[in-house]
Amino acid sequence: MLLHIFALLALALMGGISAEYKSYDGFKILEVNYQEPRVKKFVQEIDQHLGFMPDFLGENWKLKQAHYFIDKDSVSKVESNFAANNITYRMRDVNPQTFKVRRRRDLNGGAVTIHDVNNRYLSYDEQMQFVNSISQQFPQIVKLQNLGRSYEGRSITAVRIGDDGTDKPIVWIDAGVHAREWISYNVALYLVYTIVSQPTFRDLIDHVQLVVVPNTNPDGYEYSRTHDRMWRKTRSRFTNSRCGGADANRNYPFFWGTKGVSHMECSEIFCGTRPQSEPEVLALTNAIQREEARIKGYVALHSYGQEILYPWGHTMHQYPADVQDLIQVGKAMATAIKAVNNTDYTVVNSGDGLYPAAGASDDWAKSRGIKYSYTMELSPVDDETGFSLPEDRINQVNREAFQAIQVLMLEVRSKFGAVRKMATNSAASTRSAQSSLLLNRFRTTISRGFGRG
């Protein structure tokens, strides 16, 4: 299997990274254009044709391309099967820089700063050091909450911004459910720092509480950093299995185990032994349910693909009753992103692509009554760098995603924000009007249909 080939790089080459790091020499990226209906049907049934499900990296909605990561022992089988079925494809070598092991840049006890968040990928300990320093610097508006522990005992930490004991609405952001999606962690940390450190946003967090969980899969992330760059799952262990981990984004208790999942423990999309079998998922669902009546916005940060996805994702061509609201705000978020550096994000239903996926966090959040529930697939849009977004692009993606979250917070404030007791009615009305005006700058005309395009 893709995730369990022996590692080849010795510790001496790691420059301080423990154990061995998995080699991806000989692996390929498979690219398939599925404009033709017969080709689309073939790739939707690719596991039946090949006898296994290859690692699905994602799809480009606009170009109608599907991308897969093929292990070296399966390349010839894939090529012969595609040729036998008269399917045109492109098989590309993996960029060796994508999996190059670099010497870890230790801080030697120095503080982690926003410069680090904008320019390099941090360890879990560094992430926690960063949020701790923010909570100490801004104790009046930032609180840290331990939601629970990962399988290996690491804290699942939430950063609560603007938690003043009132019943104002909440926007909930979490990141990193898939370990290899490194940019999502940095985006979450940048969001925390920017909205706390800039006085411009103080009025917004007076009316909307922001909860950010910057690392929802710390075990998997550390394993991805130190052993296997393409590791996706948690690090749970199962009885009598040589394979570890489950796909936490197939483990939520909503249509669990039905579509787009595997019940084989070695699969990339193994949905766990039962709903909420993963302690990380259990911690998150318990925390959200405790205050779900106040949570009006939810975004799961993922990569990659430059997409804003809305429910339902467990099936195809079925949508929530308020789908037009989801599309409208999603398009406003995409417009805000584009204003930063002309980057295009597609707003689309998460179940209408090649593979519906049950048990995902955004579907579950929507099922709990959280109105604006999304998954953001961050940059890039292509598989050339994919999950290994170059560090010199981190800052741009951070800034783009922040604008999208700001738009969501403005919408939640406009629709659900309560008037604070210490404010006069006229002042509150003025702020509400300003919030609506800001949001309207990002609104776009809703196209007919369900937001594809």
What does the block give as tokens for 309? 């996805």
pLDDT band at 60 (very low <50, low <70, confident <90, very high): confident
Q: What is the mean pLDDT of the chain?
A: 85
Q: Which amino acid is at 431?
A: R
If residue 229 lies in a helix (H) or strand (E), which one and from where to where? Answer: none
Extract long-range pairs of 85-93: CB within 8 Å, 24+ residues apart: 85/42, 85/49, 87/32, 87/39, 87/42, 88/32, 88/33, 88/39, 89/30, 89/31, 89/32, 90/30, 90/31, 90/32, 91/28, 91/29, 91/30, 91/31, 92/28, 92/29, 92/30, 92/31, 93/28, 93/29
pLDDT at 15 over 50: no
pLDDT at 442 over 90: no
pLDDT at 17 over 60: no
Which residues, 6+ apart, have CB-to-CB distance to 172 below 8 Å?
Answer: 211, 213, 288, 295, 297, 298, 299, 365, 370
Cα 73 from chain centre: 30
- Which candidate in 20, 31, 307, 377 is catalytic? 377
pLDDT band at 105 (very low <50, low <70, confident <90, very high): low
* CB 235 within 8 Å of CB 178: no
Q: What is the architecture, at CATH level 2, of domain 114-442?
A: 3-Layer(aba) Sandwich (3.40)
pLDDT greater at residue 441 or residue 302? 302
Coil/strand/helix, residue 348 = strand
What does the block give as tokens for 319? 């949508």
Average pLDDT over residues 227-243: 86
Among 309, 310, 306, residue whose Cα is nearest residue 386: 306
The reported pLDDT for the residue numbered 378 is: 95
323-369 pLDDT, tens digit each = 999 999 999 999 999 999 999 999 999 988 767 899 999 999 999 99
Lowest pLDDT segment from 82-91, 169-178, 260-269, 328-337: 260-269
The reported pLDDT for the residue numbered 191 is: 98
Average pLDDT over residues 155-176: 96
Which residues, 6+ apart, have CB-to-CB distance to 123 below 8 Å?
Answer: 104, 222, 225
The reported pLDDT for the residue numbered 444 is: 37
pLDDT greater at residue 56 or residue 398? 398
pLDDT at 271 over 60: yes
Distance in angstroms (rounded) separating the CA atoms of residues 128 and 159: 10
The reported pLDDT for the residue numbered 14 is: 32
pLDDT at 406 over 70: yes
Class of the domain covering 24-94: alpha beta
Lowest pLDDT segment from 132-136, 228-232, 319-323, 442-446: 442-446
Average pLDDT over residues 277-299: 98
Q: Is 377 a catalytic residue?
A: yes
**Domain chopping of the chain, boundaries:** 24-94, 114-442
Number of H helices, E strands in the chain: 13, 12
The reported pLDDT for the residue numbered 93 is: 87
The reported pLDDT for the residue numbered 380 is: 85
DSSP 8-state secondary structure symbol assigned to residue 422? T
* CB 266 within 8 Å of CB 246: no
Distance in angstroms (rounded) separating the CA atoms of residues 453 and 450: 9
- If you count them, how many residues does the chain have? 453
pLDDT band at 97 (very low <50, low <70, confident <90, very high): low
pLDDT band at 161 (very low <50, low <70, confident <90, very high): very high
pLDDT at 16 over 70: no
DSSP 179-222: TT-THHHHHHHHHHHHHHH-GGGHHHHHHSEEEEES-S-HHHHH
- Residue 181 burial (10 A CB sphere; 0-12, 13-18, 19+): buried
